[in-house]
Amino acid sequence: MRLEQRLEDVSAGLGIPGQFFATPTAIMAQYRLPGKRRPYADMVRARPGGVDLGRLTDLERLVDEVVRGAIDLDAAVIRLHAIESAPAPPTWRRFLPTVLISAAAAQFLGGGVAELALAMVAGAMVAGFEEIAARRGSRDRLVPPAAACVAAFGVAAAAQVVPELSPPLALVASLIVLVPGLEFTMAIKEISTENLVSGSARLTSAVGDFLLLAFGVALGTRLALAAFGPVPLGVPIALPEWTLFAALVVAALGFAMRFNTHRNDVIWVAVACMVSWAGASAGSELLGPDLGVLVAALAVGVAANARARWSGTSSMVMMIPGLILLVPGSFGIRAIDLMLQDDIVSALNTVFSMLLIATALSTGLLLSNLLLPSERSVRHR
């Protein structure tokens, strides 16, 4: 929906009335060129990719300039090609964020020093698989199950040496960057706003990613069972409370690097993480842990829209990092793992919790746009 609105903005700014329909894998357009009696229709295939907040910010600014008439079409095309061909971040900036986010996730999930260290090592393995896929220039569908398999086997092996650690916690933390929790939540949001085609496509993709991860975890676990026998399940020793603030800072830095955020926007990523966690804590006290994320999503949405209205840039710079701390991605892995263990009742309870959290997040975002829409939302009302 957002992409369709921005395309309509550009079309109107150029004086070419048009209608657009976007899905995660295709964009269809119909517009009437000056002097032509019949409309022109076209369709462009789109390849799903990752989040690049730096390019998104540059593109939003370019679109605003085109809509205001501050730049001519030829100069806009040159700028567009420059944004598209911007060099990729160096290897260390693609590798380090996964390790940092895994470490922060271990703290958020209640892990101790052993779980944190193991999550960082396993997260480095996951980053290695992502780097291999990046060098091949493709979004390799084998990366999630392969990374999950290696991480599950490695975590199980480490548990034989350090029996007091919690392997499930360390494993989920190490795989957190591969879990499609954000995609699942956005799918629920699009379906709830009657963008059924796009929402259904995203939902199907998210479920497929969950299944691939679950298969990798199951395979790695079975291989470890055959090699080492039963995996010890220790009880983690939670870190001191002051480490929560440090984990939020580490997570914000990891998100900023992973999403290629501009340097002057890093502080806003950190603010989004703080608002998200504070909102989740307050919401949990008021509504419980599942529905409490509605308060957090509302707070993040209002903060992101307020910053967008003030600065004239994209609200996604704060919205995406803030939501990632709230999305129920880990529930999907747990649910499928429980199904593989024939614990259907617990699996269904976990799935229901995941759906409830995603719906609460979607509702919170819708309320934030109602209470304080961004300038672009106002323009389309």
CA distance 258 to 50: 9
Q: How many CB atoms are located within 10 Å of the residue 359 CB?
A: 19
Q: What is the Cα–Cα distance from 174 to 165, expressed in whole angstroms?
A: 14
Round to the nearest angstrom and report the end-to-end CA distance of the chain. 13
Instruction: Give the C-alpha separation, 350 to 153, whole Å.
Output: 24
Two tokens, residue 356: 């409830």
Q: What is the spatial distance between Cα 33 and Cα 37, in angstroms, rounded to a whole number?
A: 8
Question: Which residues is 29 bridged to in the sheet?
Answer: 20, 42
- Rounded to the nearest angstrom, the gap between the alpha carbon of residue 210 and the centroid of all alpha carbons in its chain is 14
Phi, psi of 180 (to 5 degrees): -85, 45
Using alpha carbons only, what angle is made at residue 110 by residues 126 and 168, rounded to the nearest 5 degrees? 50
Give the amino acid at 28: M
pLDDT of residue 1: 63
Cα–Cα distance for residue pair 3/358, rounded to 1 Å: 22
Q: How many CB atoms lie within 10 A of CB 46?
A: 13
Locate all alpha helices (DSSP H) within the chain, ordered by sequence.
2-13, 53-68, 73-84, 91-108, 113-135, 143-161, 167-174, 181-192, 196-228, 243-258, 266-287, 293-311, 316-324, 329-340, 344-371, 375-379
List the chain residues with pLDDT less than 50: 377-381
Q: What are phi and psi of 202, to 5 degrees?
A: -65, -40
pLDDT at 379: 47
pLDDT at residue 140, as a whole number: 66
For the beta sheet containing 18-23, the strands, ordered from the edge strand earlier in sequence to the opposite edge, are 18-23, 26-31, 40-45
In this predicted structure, what is the pLDDT of residue 378?
41
Contact 297, 363 (CB under 8 A): yes
Which of 236-239's residues contact partners 24+ apart within 8 Å by CB, and which partners? 236/110, 236/111, 236/112, 236/114, 236/115, 236/165, 236/166, 236/169, 237/112, 237/113, 237/114, 237/164, 238/110, 238/111, 238/112, 239/107, 239/111, 239/112, 239/113, 239/116
Q: Calculate ∠ Cα 261-91-317, nearest 5°.
A: 10
